[in-house]
A and B are shown apart, each in its own frame.
Chain A
Amino acid sequence: MKAPSKELTIDQIIGRINSGMTVGIGGWGSRRKPMALVRAILRSDLTDLHIVSYAGPDVGLLLAAGKASKVTYAFATLDSIPLEPWFGRARQEGTAQFREWDEGMFQNGLRAAAQRVSFLPMRAGLGSAVLENDTDLRTVVSPYDQDEELVAVPALNLDVALVHMNRADAMGNGQYLGPDPYFDDLFCMAAREAYVSTEQIIDTAGLTVDAPLQSLLLNRTMVTGVVETPNGAHFTDCTPTYGRDEKFQKAYATAAKTPEDWAVFNQRFLSGDEAAYQAAVTAFTEEATP
């Protein structure tokens, strides 16, 4: 007997998220972000989300649309453009709650959640402003060495994880083909439900025809549902399938500078469904390439 298909539509996945939930988003900065799912959240009536992310334009867009009331992050960046414009504005205007951790603390928080323990100890954070600005953080004295007082990084328990893979099968086995898995397996294991968007859903046998075994990052026990979203990480990097769309990213960052330009950008690219977005991107690319 075959394992049942976990294939869903974008709208079915978004329908399983509720307002007020904690949503982890995979990828890193402006790299392999599940942007088709993020765009679907923008269109939804979801609100009051707590977003947990190594943040890029995913967090920027969700803040811009008023979907995120709280963000846990270690940085926010567009990589080739150092600062995320909407994130910066939200921080400066105080329009949401923010929890800023060290990058390694963030990983350990996901790992604690994945291991189903309430915290994991580590050195990172000691002496820094992180412990002053997040007053919920506690330290722990080693039971083996009274001189060793470490940060007790709390589990980053997620209601839902959203990640993007280069390829997957319909059962939820997920494969990355680029150089870096980022933390997507940890996000999935830290969550009660994990949803994978992917460039391509293929037959299981095809996954290992032309790629090494180790590229199979997610196994189906970690995954609740999967959806095929070609170009679904756009405009972030999804190498080797495609690189970051630098022209588009620049247009995004430029539009974010004034409400007038943002209204135009929003109307042109984000007012319709995913198919409309992709069509608008195709038109933008054709305009930009004479």
Chain B
Amino acid sequence: MTDVTRAEYCAVAIADCFADDGEIMGSPMGLLPTLGARLAKNTTNPLLMLTDGEARILRGTPPLGQTADVTEGWMPFRLVLESVVSFGKRHVMMGATQVDRHGNQNISAIGSWDKPTRQLLGVRGAPGNTVNNKTSYWVPKHSTRVVVEQVDIVSGVGRARAEAAGPAAAKFHDVHRLVTDLGVFDFGGPGHTLRFVSVHPGSSVEEVRAASGCEIHTDGDVPATREPTSEELVLMRELLDPRSLRDREVAPR
């Protein structure tokens, strides 16, 4: 199949984040993470457990925007907070208004704590997620304002801060990937800093660098994000997202 869109590269890159997780709960926040997690469940990781975003654990993977499916379990917010997060059998992919070179994330506010220039959601569950279970981030529009040297208010905790906070904070800390509309990154650079994993076809290391507010480490040549398989394209286009909602979040180039 030809004409793979930018959003489809993002979706398979997100799906790959969940590929090796086995039987855990995936908590994708937002549209592309939901598509990617549902794709992983249909391909590399059928054991992945996913909810309708509310209290129902779904057996299957309905199309984006729909939640009707066989219910296989109950997952109210209280169980997420008291059991799943601290139990650790979870991989959350959160958004990030800012994410920095050291893997800290901010969804709380922009500016100073006392008088922010722009109040956002609040830290939500990010502090608990990042010291308890595997965490990845999704950024639909990679820019110098989002990928920064240092976030304003540390909501999700990066590796250096977790280690500084002591063994209890670092013990289960596992910030896995940052996926953006331009590429895939991890925190395997010097001192657990941002590092290229791949760039999406159509983008380049130079473009990513120009769109970033901090240095991103490379280990030699940066590969291209892999092509979706024909099975993945059929799944996305015909089953999981027939209305192409993915193209609204990440526009085709």
Contact = CB atoms under 8 A, between A and B. Distances in A.
Interface of A: 28, 55, 73-77, 82-83, 87-88, 91-94, 100-105, 107, 122-130, 132-133, 147-150, 179-183
7 nearest A-B pairs in the assembled complex, by CB-CB distance: A124-B128, A128-B127, A126-B169, A75-B122, A127-B165, A179-B55, A127-B157
Contacts of B130: 127-128
Nearest to A28: B77
A126 B247 CA distance: 38
B125 A127 contact: no
A103 B166 contact: no
B76 A182 contact: yes
B165 A103 contact: no
B82 interface: yes
B131 A77 contact: no
A180 B81 contact: no
B164 A148 contact: no
A132 B151 CA distance: 14
13 contacts: A55-B122, A75-B121, A102-B127, A123-B132, A124-B86, A124-B131, A126-B131, A127-B130, A128-B155, A133-B113, A149-B167, A179-B55, A180-B76
B125 A102 contact: yes
A130 B166 CA distance: 16
Nearest to A103: B125
Contacts of B132: 123-124
Nearest to B76: A180
Nearest to B122: A75
Interface string B199-230: 00000000000000000000000000000000
A288 B93 CA distance: 38
Given A104-B82, A181-B78, A148 B119 contact: no
Interface of B: 54-56, 74, 76-78, 81-82, 85-86, 108-109, 113-128, 130-132, 153-157, 161-162, 164-169, 172
Contacts of A87: 119
A103 B119 contact: no
A124 B84 CA distance: 13
A83 B120 CA distance: 7
Contacts of A77: 121
A126 B125 contact: no
Nearest to B78: A183
Given A103-B128, A123-B86, A179-B56, A91 B119 contact: yes
A32 B167 CA distance: 39
A147 B167 CA distance: 6
A94 B78 CA distance: 31
Contacts of B169: 123, 126-127
Contact of A179 (B76, B123, B161): B76
Nearest to A182: B77
Contacts of A127: 127, 130-131, 154, 157, 161-162, 164-165, 169
B124 A128 contact: no
A88 to B, nearest CB: 4
Contact of A123 (B114, B161, B164, B168): B168
Contacts of B76: 179-182
B124 A126 contact: no
Which of B117, B119, B132 has the most CB atoms of chain A within a 10 A radius of its CB?
B119
A129 B108 contact: yes
A91 B76 CA distance: 29
B81 A103 contact: yes
Contacts of B118: 88, 92
A129 B155 contact: yes
A98 to B, nearest CB: 9
A77 B125 CA distance: 14
A73 B116 CA distance: 16
